[in-house]
Amino acid sequence: MNISVIQFDGQQLSLSAPLALNNNDKGTAFGGSLYCLAVMCCWSWFYLRCLDTRIEPIGVPNIVVTKASIDYLLPVTDETIIATCRLDDEAIWQGFVDHYSAKGSAKIQLDATIYTGNNAIKQKAVTFTGSYGLMGAY
């Protein structure tokens, strides 16, 4: 897939993949690639936030995807496919951290979006929602 990190600022993570390596027989982005990019965007955001927050026990976060759904709204034709995960409400993150601190495991729901179109007119092409669990560290 050739996934690359575009940026992570502590609140938002964007990953990219080239259409040329992730296209289907119609010349648009392959649905499986869109799904994988969205799953990895949320998983990576969660991983980085866990490291940044220094959730105990400190180590490599043991993260699992427990549930996921995706809606394909439009075909993606951009040369570079970009998925973005952002959690706008810090209270949700703090609630997750508090629950994890009390119980030793916790889940959080994260969303990723993929847009398509030229820079002047971007349209939402894919919406992804996943439930991610932190089961400690190893």
- DSSP secondary structure letters along the chain: ---EEEEE-SSEEEEEEEGGGSB-TTSSB-HHHHHHHHHHHHHHHHHHHHHHHTPSSPSSEEEEEEEEEEEE-S----SEEEEEEE---HHHHHHHHHHHHHHS-EEEEEEEEEEES-TTS-EEEEEEEEEEEEEEE-
- Domain coordinates in residue numbering, the chain: 4-137
- Kindly report whether the global pTM for this prediction surpasses the value 0.85: yes
pLDDT digit string, tens, across residues 69-126: 999 999 999 999 999 999 999 999 999 999 999 999 999 999 999 999 977 899 999 9
pLDDT of 105: 93
pLDDT digit string, tens, across residues 23-46: 999 999 999 999 999 999 999 999
The fourth-level CATH superfamily of domain 4-137 is Hotdog Thioesterase (3.10.129.10)
Q: What is the mean pLDDT of residues 53-73?
A: 90
